[in-house]
A and B are shown apart, each in its own frame.
Chain A
Amino acid sequence: MNSSYALYTLATILQLGLLAQATDLMAGHVGRIGFGAITGSCVGSYVYAVLATHSQQLLLASVLSVVAASGVGVSVGYVAALWDADRYLLVTFVVQLTVVEVANNAGVTGGPLGIRDVPALGAGPNRDATHTTVLILLTCAAVFTVILEVLTSDRWRFGRRLHWMRDDAPSAIAAGINPFTLHICVSSVQCVIGAVVGISIASVQQYVGPQSFDLWLSLKVITVLILAGPGCAPRYILIAAASIVALTEGASIVFTDPVSAGPIEVALTNLVLIVLLLRWRHGLAGPRLVRGGSDNVD
């Protein structure tokens, strides 16, 4: 197997896995499904691409893109605390579409053509950009997985608060848990992870365009999340991301006919996913989450 192909596949797995982990932080552990992580990724990626292209200060560009994404996280978190789950989903969806639309039309983001020749983080005269980015991504994935495992575990105070708020917001608020602090904090972490993924996307592709963050990516992230099981331990999400990528890549290897490959690949992948979810209703590793107690049966 071509090593650059393997590295690219690994980068895709890590990117998908991290985005799904970030999405699950709000969806599985706070009970608010939305597109905040992908929006953070989009903002982070564009900010990095613009700054890195113009200033060549890659580290500064990375830091500023993370800061910009966390700003989005604060706003989205405020909305999450203020509004119910349905409106939160709608708001994050609208924000994502708006960001993509702005990028599609604004001159500074390159319009529909996007930004080309984005300098890769960690790349040098003797270093391959993809190789370095994958190394950074691997490190980030390990660090974020450990952080998220701790944050979302019931053995820790923060995890218990998250799950209390997810399961029963009225009693959590009445007991003194500040919903704004909690949602803003979680949403910021979500967008920071998204920004890191966004930087890696820009670095690996050396290009950012509106189609880099289209709805297809959002759906893939949510598919990974559903396959792993919302609310599961973050490490399982990486496994689910690997499964989805392996499934897709496997199908593309089997069906090489350029006319039928696309539809057959998609149909086969979806069929396998449906079978898996019929067998494991709560995802591969997801706990059985009960809402409101009306469903307190096995």
Chain B
Amino acid sequence: MSISVLTVENVTVRFGSKPVLSGVHGSARSGEVVGIVGANGAGKTTLARVIGGLLSPESGYVSLNDHRLSDTKPWGNGRASLVAWMFQSRHIAWNLTVRNNLISVTDLRDRRKRADPGHGTSRDDSIATLLAELGLIREEQTLAWRLSYGQQRLLALGRAILADAQILLLDEPFAGLSDENQFRVLDILKNNARQRIVLVIEHDLEMLRLLASKFWRVHDGQLTEHADFNSLLAGYKATGASRATCLSSTAGSIGTTRVTRPVPETSALRALRKSPRLGLYEFSAGYSSRCVVDKLNLEVFSGDILCILGANGSGKSTLLRAVMGLGPWRTGRVYADQQCIDGLPTDALSRLGLRMMPQAERVLPAFSIRDNLTLVNVGITNRNALCGVPFTGGAKSRELVRSSEDAFVASVGGGRRRTAGSLSSGEQTRLALMTFRFGPVAILLLDEPTAGLDGAARAELAAELRTLQRRRVGIVIAEHDGAFVATVATRAAELRDGQLHNVDLDHIRRPDLLQDNTR
């Protein structure tokens, strides 16, 4: 088996006048797993798009052995055998079944392998094996859009692996996955890395430490190569990065930075706890033939940060969406501040102060940053918001929006005209969270808020949650990141078999799993 060498040579990319990559160099050989790290907006995905041929660099090139990847279109002759992608968001064929999603990849793979008599594994065998590895056997004939977010991510990963290309390009493969599935993915990647070059963009350094054999750090438009994890940490220290930045999601484990605990219970908060902000009673929800949440009872009080844990597909997103009146059928009673809100449409709930940040599509991509900060609160006044919701309208609010916009634009660069769609995934999440500062929010539902966030952004998120908690907002978070949950939650529950089961926060310790895996 010949050794493949990927070379990134003097690549420069600009978006308008903003340089994203400035003459970066890097190399990797087959058998290596390269962890690509950097803050949100540093240019990791841009680098991946250049390597994948989806973006032409202003100067420089990317080559695999003698083949210039940056000079050919992705559909060029033989090109598909060189690079396979797993995108950051869920890029799958939504209206095909899981099986047909995988077959459509093997169609392309088998066409180019027809000339190679050495490939013995049949299509059905390779798909069956992969489905078993991904834990999607039961979903084989399910339409992709019916899968949960995590399952869709697993399917996207499966498609990338099945393409059998020389370079496997994975953009945040662990985001949105439960612990069990994260280690499942870890095993799959380790098994598939032997004869390929695997490039993994990831914020979860714990996972990268277990997986990557070398690291590329993208910082200030430059790429720095590090031979091992310790060298990477030394590199962070050398550039003066805070621990929170370098140890991304590791607040509860290998890092030393712990986001401070939420606001302690005060007498004022205790008084407010007499009536729940949000109450679900005998609440059931599901899809046409399937009950996902079964007669569940839940109360969320002012200042609560309730984290809902659970495996991918357990129904966390379905529960939040059903509360917001988004799609799935639901039965039972829903109360907000002792006011029955059963059957109210989503926009009415939003005006009342029941707000949600979904798992994907968190911003209005075609609109500017300021429009995103203001438009979501259009039509919302104190008059129709839930009682006790502090909301500053008028000049004070406009001033707040302006100062927040200034701070955000300064941190992401690119000027005021930049649209939200041009922000990186992590920056979009930060922007979406900021919108809740300016409107009346009584109850906030967050679906996987930490997915795609670097360490600094997670700390910012935790601080934002603390601010909302002080505003007596009741917060419900569907989350997989145990370390984050242990840090910010006032209580946690696991959604299993359609019911919530209380979880002791002291028992949420992901390092145990790490030790098991690395033994």
B95 touching A297, Cβ below 8 Å: no
B107 touching A297, Cβ below 8 Å: no
Kindly identify, within residues 72 to 128 of chain A, every residue whose CB is under 8 Å from any CB belonging to chain B.
none
Interface membership of A296, Cβ < 8 A: yes
CA distance A290 to B145 in the complex (A): 7
Interface membership of A258, Cβ < 8 A: no
B328 touching A297, Cβ below 8 Å: yes
Chain B residues lying within 8 Å of A166, measured Cβ to Cβ, are 95
A290 touching B85, Cβ below 8 Å: no
Of B96, B156, B288, B358, which contacts A164 at CB under 8 A? B96
CA distance A254 to B395 in the complex (A): 64
Distance of A285 from chain B, by nearest CB (Å): 15
Of A170, A171, A172, A296, which contacts B145 at CB under 8 A? A296
Interface membership of A294, Cβ < 8 A: yes
Provide the B128-162 mask, 1 if CB < 8 A to any CB of A, else 0. 00000000000000000111000010001001000
Interface membership of B344, Cβ < 8 A: no
Distance of A63 from chain B, by nearest CB (Å): 32
Of B54, B94, B105, B152, which contacts A291 at CB under 8 A? B94
Of B85, B287, B361, which contacts A175 at CB under 8 A? B85
CA distance A175 to B94 in the complex (A): 16
Provide the A280-298 mask, 1 if CB < 8 A to any CB of B, else 0. 0000000101111111111
Distance of B286 from chain A, by nearest CB (Å): 9
Chain B residues lying within 8 Å of A168, measured Cβ to Cβ, are 91-94
Interface footprint category on B? 35 or more
Chain A residues lying within 8 Å of B97, measured Cβ to Cβ, are 154
CA distance A295 to B287 in the complex (A): 13
Residue of B nearest to A164 (CB): B93
- A161-B107, A170-B91 known; A298 vs B84 contact (CB < 8 Å): no
Chain B residues lying within 8 Å of A296, measured Cβ to Cβ, are 94, 145-147
A2-10, A40-48, A176-184, A192-200: which lies at the B interface?
A: A176-184
Chain A residues lying within 8 Å of B73, measured Cβ to Cβ, are 178
A177 touching B94, Cβ below 8 Å: no
Residue of B nearest to A291 (CB): B94
Of B83, B93, B287, B327, which contacts A163 at CB under 8 A? B93
- A175-B108, A176-B75 known; A289 vs B328 contact (CB < 8 Å): no
A297 touching B321, Cβ below 8 Å: yes
Distance of A291 from chain B, by nearest CB (Å): 7
Interface membership of B301, Cβ < 8 A: no
Residue of A nearest to B52 (CB): A174
CA distance A152 to B248 in the complex (A): 46
Distance of B425 from chain A, by nearest CB (Å): 14
A297 touching B327, Cβ below 8 Å: yes
A176 touching B80, Cβ below 8 Å: yes
Chain A residues lying within 8 Å of B288, measured Cβ to Cβ, are 298
Interface membership of A160, Cβ < 8 A: yes
Chain B residues lying within 8 Å of A268, measured Cβ to Cβ, are none
Distance of B243 from chain A, by nearest CB (Å): 35
CA distance A295 to B145 in the complex (A): 8
CA distance A179 to B146 in the complex (A): 27
Interface centre among B97, B100, B318, B321 (most CB of A within 10 A): B100
A292 touching B94, Cβ below 8 Å: yes
Distance of A165 from chain B, by nearest CB (Å): 9
B74 touching A163, Cβ below 8 Å: no
Provide the B38-60 mask, 1 if CB < 8 A to any CB of A, else 0. 00000000000000111000000
A293 touching B327, Cβ below 8 Å: no
A173 touching B96, Cβ below 8 Å: no
B74 touching A173, Cβ below 8 Å: yes
Interface membership of A149, Cβ < 8 A: no
Distance of B322 from chain A, by nearest CB (Å): 9
Interface membership of B505, Cβ < 8 A: no
Residue of A nearest to B152 (CB): A293
Interface membership of A157, Cβ < 8 A: yes
- A168-B92, A290-B94 known; A157 vs B107 contact (CB < 8 Å): yes
Of B83, B90, B107, which contacts A160 at CB under 8 A? B107
Provide the B276-318 mask, 1 if CB < 8 A to any CB of A, else 0. 0000000000011000000000000000000000000000001
Distance of B313 from chain A, by nearest CB (Å): 12
Interface centre among A163, A166, A168 (most CB of B within 10 A): A168
A292 touching B100, Cβ below 8 Å: no
Interface membership of B509, Cβ < 8 A: no
| B interface list, Cβ under 8 A from A | 52-54, 73-75, 79-80, 83-85, 87, 90-97, 100, 103-105, 107-108, 145-147, 152, 156, 159, 163, 287-288, 318, 321, 326-329, 358, 360-361
24 pairs across A/B with beta carbons < 8 Å?
A160-B96, A160-B103, A161-B104, A164-B93, A166-B95, A167-B93, A167-B94, A167-B95, A171-B156, A171-B159, A173-B74, A174-B53, A174-B87, A175-B108, A175-B163, A176-B75, A176-B80, A177-B75, A290-B95, A292-B94, A293-B90, A293-B145, A298-B287, A298-B327
